């Protein structure tokens, strides 16, 4: 039982990431609450990213480079998100000069759109590994393959105020997290059972 807890926590953190991120957009104008929810969501994306990397790395095998690419692209996305929190939070300050407020909001908006580029790279790497090795269900691999170009294209429209491709990415994370959570720990348990079965019986 204990062998399944940690893998499931890593896999399930993707669901919590999506839920908290969506919750942060529906809390009204309380800047403090929004920032806290976004920060917690970002922190929860890290264990999901690490777990996904482990799954892809084992499937890709020796000489793997697509799994590290997906992991690195995810980290770049989080770095940009963290960097955009400060201007986004500052723009909500009361009594701020209108021009400065607009500039800070623009910085936050452009940073959000730019995050689509590393997410597109991440999804492309995930799609290749998933479709090549079938480590994930075929439909998840195909969904990642669709999400990748959508994010890359969306990321080039820096003046856009809305990123529909990001919603597609969040849907993929949610579904992948559920699938990986249901599968998590099976390999650990099977490996432990195989190890016990293969253990030599001492001679008496």
Q: For residue 150, what pLDDT band results from cuts at 50, 70 and 90? A: very high
Answer yes or no: is 102 within a domain.
Answer: yes
User: For residue 68, is it within any domain?
Assistant: yes
Q: Which of 24-33, 97-106, 138-147, 157-166 has the lowest mean pLDDT?
A: 24-33
Residue 47: domain span: 2-192
Query: What number is the average pLDDT over the span 58-72?
Result: 94
pLDDT at position 165 is: 95
Length of the chain: 204
- Lowest-confidence pick of 92-101, 104-113, 128-137, 162-171: 92-101
Q: What is the pLDDT of residue 96?
A: 80
> Is 203 part of any domain?
no
Does residue 202 lie within any of the structural domains? no
Please indicate, yes or no, if residue 199 is contained in any of the structural domains: no
Tell me if 136 is assigned to some domain.
yes
Number of folded domains in the chain?
1
Cα distances (angstroms) measured from residue 74 to each of 41, 69, 83, 117, 126 = 14, 8, 14, 10, 11
What is the dihedral sign for C-alpha 130, 145, 6, 178?
negative
**Res 44 pLDDT > 80:** yes
Q: At what angle do helices 116-133 and 66-90 cross, to 10 degrees?
A: 150
Helix (H, G, I), strand (E, B) or coil at 57: helix
What is the SS3 assignment for 95? coil
Q: What string of H, E and C letters represents the secondary structure of 75-133?
A: HHHHHHHHHHHHHHHHCCCCCCCHHHHHHHHHHHHHHHHHCHHHHHHHHHHHHHHHHHH
At 97, give phi and psi (nearest 5°). -55, 135
Question: Six-digit token pair at 155?
Answer: 């990321």
* Domain contains 200: no
Decide if 201 is inside a domain: no
């Amino acid at each position: 039982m204990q062998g399944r807890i940690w893998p499931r926590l890593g896999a399930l953190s993707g669901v919590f990431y999506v839920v908290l991120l969506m919750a942060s957009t529906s809390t009204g104008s309380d800047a403090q609450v929004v920032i806290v929810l976004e920060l917690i969501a970002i922190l929860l994306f890290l264990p999901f990213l690490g777990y996904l990397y482990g799954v892809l790395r084992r499937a890709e095998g020796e000489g793997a480079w697509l799994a590290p690419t997906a992991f690195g692209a995810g980290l770049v996305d989080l770095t940009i998100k963290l960097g955009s929190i400060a201007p986004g939070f500052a723009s909500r300050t009361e009594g701020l000069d209108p021009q400065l407020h607009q500039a800070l909001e623009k910085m936050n908006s452009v940073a959000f759109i730019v995050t689509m580029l590393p997410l597109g790279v991440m999804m492309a790497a995930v799609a290749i590994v998933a479709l090549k090795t079938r480590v994930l269900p075929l439909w998840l691999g195909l969904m990642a393959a669709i999400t990748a170009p959508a994010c890359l294209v969306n990321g080039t429209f820096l003046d856009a105020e809305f990123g529909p491709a990001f919603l597609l990415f969040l849907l993929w994370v949610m579904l992948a997290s559920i699938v990986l959570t249901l599968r998590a720990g099976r390999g650990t348990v099977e490996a432990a059972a195989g190890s016990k079965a293969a253990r030599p019986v001492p001679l008496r």
